[in-house]
Amino acid sequence: MDTESTYSGYSYYSGRSRGSHRHGERSRDRHKSRSKDSRSEKSVTINTPPAEPLLGDSSVRGEQVQDDNWGETTTAVTGTSEHSLSQEDIVRITKDLEDSVGLDCRRYFTRTLAVILGLLVFLTPLAFLVLPHLLWPEKLQSCGTACEGLFISVAFKLLILLLAVWALFFRPARAGLPRVFVFRALLAVLVLLFVVSYWLFYGVRILDSQDENYQGIVQYAVSLVDALLFIHYLAIVLLELRQLQPCFSVCVARSTDGETRHYNLGQLSIQRAALAIIEHYYCDFPVHNPALLSASKSRAAKHLAGLKVYNVDGEFPAGPAEGPGNNAAAAGLAHSQSRAMIAAAARRRDTSHNELYYEEAEHERRVRKRKARLVVAVEEAFTHIKRMQEEEQKKSPGDVMDPREAAQAIFPSMARALQKYLRTTKQQHCHSMESIQQHLAFCITNNMTPKAFLESYLTPGPTLQYSRNHWLARQWTLISEASVTNSLKDGTIFLLKCVDFSLVVTSKKIPYIQMSEEYIDPKSHKFVLRLQSETSV
């Protein structure tokens, strides 16, 4: 039913109204031509990459026979041509290059300092033992049995320290953090001061005086190695053990679709907590699918597209007015137009929930129908595989097909049903034809069932399940009011932002739990069963 509202000489009609003023028709034609020109300027062609999605398969694209729902689930992609670069693209590429160069330089500089400090630590005890033999060998006293036993102790302790340092500090870097790790920097400074103090004492008390007691020098080197082993134990406590006990419960919510997860974290800084959350995100959160978020936007655009405002008293001004009087009139017309739009939208708001209900019901019906078709097609394909395997057992070994060839042979029988289902569920950009065939070959090799093959497509899996090109963010940005080197506190809020979305993180401290004990007397559970002596005859 047409809706009509009149404000200040203006009449409002819905998009399905059949009658309008001829000036409104001319303005609408001009608007359509302008919108068509603008669309033709923004719509360009994008070349498909080598591993193109199933939606872009040439064999399917050439088919002309489509069902009634095919066009509703087709996604049109527009963007910027790969042969053109805007000024914003040039600035963004330049910034990315500068950031990558800065991160690489900082990572190599940190690694170089760690290697230099490690060489200084391991060469210092050896230098303490070698320098007396090089500078005053004729004055040194002979080294007895106890002294020679200390050589073995120093050798094994240095070997243990080398393996421990390699296991703790020389692991592959998981990420590049914006600030230095405070505890690791403090440990490096502590080790440096410790070694420098030992060198100062060695230079003043041993080198200057040319001490003749070589056994005392060896014991001095052994004490240095022991102290380094204790510092390594302190590093294990600060870097690994301190964060194991859960102290905070963090809530992680994705800004686009509201997907939420909760995790328990220990005593961590904000930047290290952000790193742990990103690692959990790739394993726990379903892959981010922007196509699922376009439904509400398209519904709102469709709702507003059906609302048009026409001037029933005169021609609607098409261009900018000239003169103060015309400017005031144009401002009044625009104000009246906005009032009419708001009032009409308020009147149609009562019926919008019905449209949403029937639209979601129709979408669920279409998904169930295409899921049933897909399940039947896959079961028939796997049945054909079993029949082929039984036939190949009778053939010679040279004629047997490998799993890759078998997957390519049966894939066309299920390709169309799988394509339609992925289009309906907005997953066509997450699965390429090559990845589907590889997964099918994997299932055939391991003798998996059709249900196991379909699980990857019927149920959205974690982010790591998909190709890296679809989910891997090159850089995450940490946004926090507090310094990122500060420890987590109750109520700390920070954001992890990438290109398409952001993760909103809120921390809550785990409360202190007071437990009490209540003693129950074991005799209180005893009871007596009294039976009647008389029985029925």
Q: Please report which helix (H) or strand (E) contains residue 42, including its range.
A: helix 22-42
Strand partners, 487: 269
Alpha helices in 87-144 (DSSP H): 87-135
CA–CA distance, 409 with 401 (Å, rounded to integer): 10
pLDDT tens for 101-111 read 455 677 778 88
Question: Mean pLDDT lowest for which of 144-158, 167-181, 239-253?
Answer: 167-181
Is 233 a residue whose pLDDT tops 90? yes
135 CB contacts (<8 Å, ≥6 apart)?
207, 210
Question: pLDDT-based confidence at 26, cuts 50/70/90?
Answer: very low
The β-bridge relationship of strands 307-311 and 477-480 is unpaired
Higher per-residue pLDDT: 234 or 342: 234
CA–CA distance, 199 with 191 (Å, rounded to integer): 12
Best CA proximity match to 311, nearest among 25, 18, 45, 15: 25
- Sequence length of the chain is 537
Mean pLDDT of the chain: 75
Is 8 a residue whose pLDDT tops 60? no
pLDDT at 288: 83
Question: pLDDT-based confidence at 260, cuts 50/70/90?
Answer: very high
Half-sphere exposure of 45 (CA within 13 A, CB side): 2
Question: pLDDT-based confidence at 305, cuts 50/70/90?
Answer: low
Q: Is residue 400 within 8 Å of 26, Cβ to Cβ?
A: no
The first and second tokens of residue 158, run together, are 């240095």
Question: pLDDT-based confidence at 214, cuts 50/70/90?
Answer: confident
High-pLDDT (> 90) share of the chain, %: 31
Please state the rounded mean pLDDT for residues 247-276. Answer: 93
Is 434 a residue whose pLDDT tops 60? yes
CA–CA distance, 31 with 387 (Å, rounded to integer): 62
pLDDT at 398: 57
The first and second tokens of residue 504, run together, are 């909103």
The secondary structure of 52-88 as a DSSP string is -BGGG-HHHHT-----TTTGGG--------TT---HH
Question: pLDDT-based confidence at 267, cuts 50/70/90?
Answer: very high
pLDDT at 92: 53
pLDDT at 83: 43
Please state the rounded mean pLDDT for residues 518-535. Answer: 74
Best CA proximity match to 421, nearest among 385, 377, 461: 377
Report residue 297: phi and psi, to 5°.
-65, -45
Strand partners, 503: 254, 496
Half-sphere exposure of 481 (CA within 13 A, CB side): 6
Using the structure block, give the residue that is written with the tokens 């449209």.
355
Using the structure block, give the residue that is written with the tokens 């920070």.
494
pLDDT tens for 438-475 read 999 999 889 899 999 999 888 888 887 777 765 665 67
Best CA proximity match to 504, nearest among 250, 279, 253: 253
Please state the rounded mean pLDDT for residues 40-63. Answer: 37
Question: pLDDT-based confidence at 21, cuts 50/70/90?
Answer: very low
> What does pTM read for this prediction?
0.66
